[in-house]
Every structure is written in C-alpha cells, then in structure tokens.
Amino acid sequence: MASKAASKRLSKEFVAMQKEPPPFVWAAPDEKDILTWYFIVRGPPDSPYAGGEYLGCIMFPSEYPFKPPGIKMITPSGRFQPDRKICFSMSDFHPGSWNPAWSVATILTGLLSFMLADEITTGSVTTTDADKRAYAARSHAWNLAHKRFRDMFPDYCTEQLKDLPNMAQKERGIPPAPPVALPATAQPVSPAAPGQAPQPPATRAQQPNGVVPAAAGPAAPVPGAGETGWMDAWRKVLWEKWRWGALIILAVVVSRLSG
C-alpha cells in the first residue's frame, strides 16, 4: 500500500505528465494501485526502433520518492528481455545512486536514453539493428493483442500507430503547422456599386497558387447590359403614363360631346 507521501507525490506527477509529457513517452498509473504505472515508449525516427511502440511497467515502492522503483519492458524490443527488471542507474538495482528529486518523467527519459545505447546489463539482450527494426515493425500488433495494453491505453488501440502527445517536434526542429485560412465564402465581400459585380475577397496574388475562387451568386453583367435595361424600364414607364393619359383625355371629350 502506498504511503501518504508516495500517493501525494505520484498524484502530482500524473498531473505533470498530462501537462508536459516528455518526448516519445507516455505513462499512467493503474486505477487500482497508484504504485504501479504503465508506460508507452515510441522509437525515435533516427534510431533502429523507429516506428516501434513499447509497453512497460514501473513498480514504485511504498517509500517512494525516497527509494527507487523497479522497471521492466513488456513488449519485445530487441534491447530488453520482455517482462524482466532492467538494471540501470534509476532503478532499484542502484538505490545508492537514486535521487528523490527524480520523477516519472525523469525515469522514462533516462530509460529511453539507456535503450538507445548499447550497454549490456541485467535485463538487456544483444541483437542487430535489423533485428530491432523487425521487432519495431511487429510491436504495435503485439501490443494490440496484450490485455494490459488494451486496458491501460484504449485510445492507442487503433489500426494505425497513433502519435503520443509529445513526439519531440520541437526538439527535432519541425515547425508548427501553419494556420488554416478561412474559405473564400467566409471572407468579407467588398460592397459593389450599382450595376457592378461584387468584388472578390482577395486578388489573384493573395490566393494559393494564384487561383482566384469563382464568386458565388449571379454572373457579372455584360458590358452595356445595365444601360440597355435602364432604358427599357424607362420606356415602359413612359408608355404606361401615356396610355393612361390618353384614356383620360378620351373620356373627357366623350363626356362633353354627350352633354
């Protein structure tokens, strides 16, 4: 059972993991035991583990953070023996080198660094880079078949690999995605003068690839068409007035003749 200090510390670390996860790793505690955490490590793109996804476990002692945890990798990786404790400076193999200031994020960052090295230790295996790449290619399918992975990380149980919250884009110098421009129909349209077509929202130089979107609504009038329409309307008004005037005059003449 976790001590009060361990429970409080690990709860804070879970919040910190949510806010600022370290590159290529993700972790969460077992909902029934805060001393048992499961993690995912993703292989960096410039390593033999590229495209790999590795499930592991951290087993904290009740005296944490004053004593180090046990750590093991569960998914076959070609670097560590599956489901066996790993000996490195941040694990319970070396309590003398443990620093209580270290956290879950620190441990996992150190584990990834140790994974990328070739040092032989308890819990490690020796394989070629080709072997590691083969394990990486099979790792996601292996995880999907593992009940603990499905229970702990259901959001990552997808057909295709899903990126972790931090895939080290900043560290790798990948610029953020550019903002998405509003569609042309959502941009304001300049008011048009009478008899003229509405102005497009942007010039050709402002549009991607120099292509101006077609304006929505009725087509622009043919030159001279506005003038012709105006004259026709005026003739119609004059004809209506003339016709009614003629009828009135005729009615007056008829009434006088009758009198």
Condensed to tens digits (0 to 9), the pLDDT of residues 154-198 reads 999 999 999 999 998 776 666 655 544 444 544 444 445 545 554
* 147 shares its domain with 240: no
162 assigned to some structural domain: no
Mean pLDDT of 231-242: 49
- Rounded CA separation 67/18 (Å): 24
Same domain for 250 and 152?
no
> What's the chain's average pLDDT?
80
Last residue of some domain: 138, 156, 174? 156
Q: Is 258 part of any domain?
A: yes
In a domain, 189, yes or no: no
pTM exceeds 0.85 = no
- 57 pairs with which residues across the strands? 38, 72
**Does position 238 have pLDDT exceeding 80, yes or no?**
no
The C-alpha atoms of residue 68 and residue 25 are separated, in whole angstroms, by: 19
108 belongs to a structural domain:
yes
Which residues participate in catalysis according to the annotation?
Answer: 87
Residue 206 above 80 pLDDT? no
pLDDT at 193: 52
Average pLDDT estimate for 40-65: 97
Q: What is the pLDDT of residue 240?
A: 52
Domain range for residue 82?
A: 4-156
Residue 74 covered by a domain: yes
In-domain check, residue 57: yes
The DSSP line for 239-254 is HHHHHHHHHHHHHHHH
The domain total for the chain is 2
